[in-house]
Chains A and B, each alone.
Chain A
Amino acid sequence: MGTANQKEFINRIKMALGKPFAESRQKADLFNSEMSAESRAILEHIKNRNAAERKKLLETLIEAAGPINLQVISCDDISAVTGAIAGLVRAKDPEWGDQKSVVAWAHPLVERLNLPAALSEQKVPMFVTGSKSTADEDLRQQVIDAYIGITSADFCMADTATLVMRARPGQARSVSLVPAIHIAVIKLDQIIADLKELFALLKWDPHERREGLTNCLTFVSGPSKTADIEATMVHGAHGPREVHLFVISA
């Protein structure tokens, strides 16, 4: 794959940089292969976070969510979330066409919501992007047809009210993107402070680093927006018009 090309290209850069040549430069210094004391302290801090600090992060998250129109709903138990989502499904209208359908990740937390049963009385079908039995094309159509997409997330950064999602089997990237409304469900202990904590976890936490960033790590901070026409802020440019985030405290 274009290795000759690459060689010539890199050589031009080497020439441009001049001395000292790459071999003598400190590569170890460029990519730290050892965890720094700072990263270690961050990981320790995350691990030892107590209930009060977690609550504080939730408050920070709610505060940051306000200006970007992200709806954060804190619930004590999972059945309250199921009820609230059923309420949203009832209250909201589909954006394209008049058929209501919902698409969701194959994810333990989403499964625990037991949504298919809760939605069956409204006769709203729910498709799950996990089953490899469904052909990719059919699955794509289910996502396109759905007006609500339900996901969880790996983390949520309180500082900027940002959901962090990795690409995994059963957890389609398009579920948080193509439907008009995105609903995410997370647990309180998934809230972290900021980018610094996120990157420390992804790079140095033994469990997290095994999976790494995956082939697509996505940050979502509130609903899609644009201000391209006379600087007027409008939600729902291409992505979801609304994002609802449920945080389960128990």
Chain B
Amino acid sequence: MTKITTENYVAEARKAIKNQVLQRALADLQNRFGRGTAECYRQLPEGPDLRLKAHEIRMKTIENLDVVLETLAANILKNGGHVFFAKDSRAAVDYCLEVARRHQVRRVVKGKSMVSEEIDLNAALMDAGIEVSETDLGEYIIQLAGETPSHIIAPAIHKTRNDVGSLFAAKLDIPYEDDPPKLTWIARKALRQKFLAADMGTSGCNIACAETGHITTVSNEGNIRMSTTLPKVHMAFMGMERVAARLEDHDILLRLLCRGAAAQNMATYVSYIGGPRQADQVDGPQEFHLVILDNGRSRILADAEFREMLCCIRCAACLNVCPVYAKIGGHSYGYAYTGPVGAVVTPLLVGINRAKDLCLGETLCGACQEACAVNIDLPRMLLALRAKLAEGDPAWGVKPADRKEKLLWQAWSMMIRKRTVYDFVLRLAALVQKLMPQRDGMIRRLPPPVSGWTQGRDLRPLAKESFIQRWRKGF
């Protein structure tokens, strides 16, 4: 399902911009969550600057990630859980399949997890003949429709109630219904059976706590609690950076996560899970497994320029304010991670050349950093990625993306450093521009290869005299 389709960015973006339903849904989403989150930050007793403190906490953890992860693993083992360190998707998926085989798992219920999208867990489980049910209502809708999520927190925002109604009628064999409460109840009923019948539940991890040995799950629906309480095996997946050292750190991080994700002071359900059911307990899974995933993250860690990206707690607040995401939606980004976070993380994970359009497409307006729960300087990293694309970077295996563009800039820089050349080019341009179609004193169209510039706007022509010429003549 999660095929990497970052190459289709421009084509997908074009489609999204023409989709009126999607445009309305995106505008509505940003109006509510974008503004709501900003208001939540303002109302914090510590004010929006708490995000700076959170950044410090995250950075300190990341810079000691070896010690922190070893502590986390040791504490989980002590509580009777299992920990598996997976260097890539394959290793993570294989481990999960192996545990599933050992327990003769036939049905899996999934709590929402971006990492499981990243490693394409669903496809692997289904290939092994295991039934997989997404349980987050939005994810369930997407799964029934055979699509991929378009938003980290609101995966089905591109679907209307009529879409969902027709989908449920067709897939669940029930009469058409388009009232959201009734549709929700239909899904509740269908998924309750899945929860009760499942042999394994999977989840992600929002922020683990190393010193106590717990992962955390956060949800409003209760699907993650269901998935991690009722089946006999609980398999959790986390990116290796999703951990905090101390319990105290969770005070700040959890408060910002809930505010960034859904403009809430607290999600309905937060669970700290640190091991399987104990001998004297009557419910909970008999086995607890945690898969800690690298999958390219250690390479990001090694690069001082991008290390900061590992502070991200995937709250998706940046999606809710990004003017680019607002127009092109999530599917254009072609990978599990969308919006500004996707524009930086995806190139770093799947290849900078391969996902170049993602970082080239952003505006550098800085709204993402302002919304970021942990104040990550996304614009700086977007620029750094663009610099790599312009110059090439053997360490990251980046080839210069566009040699013509590079040549053009080299010519430009030569021209503006030589007065005589500059004046000559100006005079030449003043002559040439007379050939261009004009109206009301504006140039309407430029010829290829620069015709794109005038596709959506007119261009002001060069003045008859340059400032220097007028200066020399005296005013």
Q: Which of A's residues lie within 8 Å of B, judged by CB?
A: 1-2, 5-6, 8-10, 12-18, 22, 25, 27, 30-32, 39, 64, 68, 96, 129-130, 132, 136, 139-140, 143-144, 159-160, 162, 167-170, 172-174, 177-178, 194-196, 199-200, 202-203, 212-232, 234, 236-240
Contact = CB atoms under 8 A, between A and B. Distances in A.
Contacts of B250: 195, 199
A228 B283 contact: no
Nearest to B228: A216
A22 B77 contact: no
Interface stretch (B219-227, B399-407, B442-450, B462-470): B219-227
Interface of B: 25, 28-29, 32, 60, 63-71, 73, 77, 79-80, 82-85, 87, 135-138, 141, 154-157, 159-161, 164, 180-181, 183-185, 187-188, 191-192, 195-196, 210-212, 214, 220-223, 225-226, 229-230, 240, 245-248, 250-251, 254-255, 265-278, 280-284, 288, 292, 294, 298-299, 301-302
B267 A221 contact: yes
Nearest to B155: A228
A133 B156 CA distance: 46
Contact of A232 (B25, B180, B223, B255): B180
Contact of B269 (A130, A159, A167, A220): A220
A170 B79 contact: no
29 contacts: A5-B85, A6-B73, A10-B85, A17-B63, A31-B211, A136-B282, A160-B266, A174-B229, A174-B230, A174-B283, A199-B248, A214-B274, A215-B79, A215-B273, A215-B288, A216-B271, A219-B271, A222-B268, A224-B222, A224-B269, A225-B220, A228-B155, A229-B164, A229-B183, A232-B161, A236-B185, A237-B188, A237-B221, A239-B222
A212 B67 contact: no
Contacts of B187: 237
A16 B299 contact: yes
B67 A215 contact: no
Contact of B271 (A16, A130, A217): A217
Contacts, number: 244
Contacts of A232: 161, 180-181
A199 B211 CA distance: 12
B272 A213 contact: yes
Nearest to A175: B283
A219 B254 CA distance: 12
A199 B282 CA distance: 26
Contacts of B63: 17
A115 to B, nearest CB: 19
B221 A239 contact: yes
Contacts of A199: 247-248, 250-251
B181 A234 contact: yes
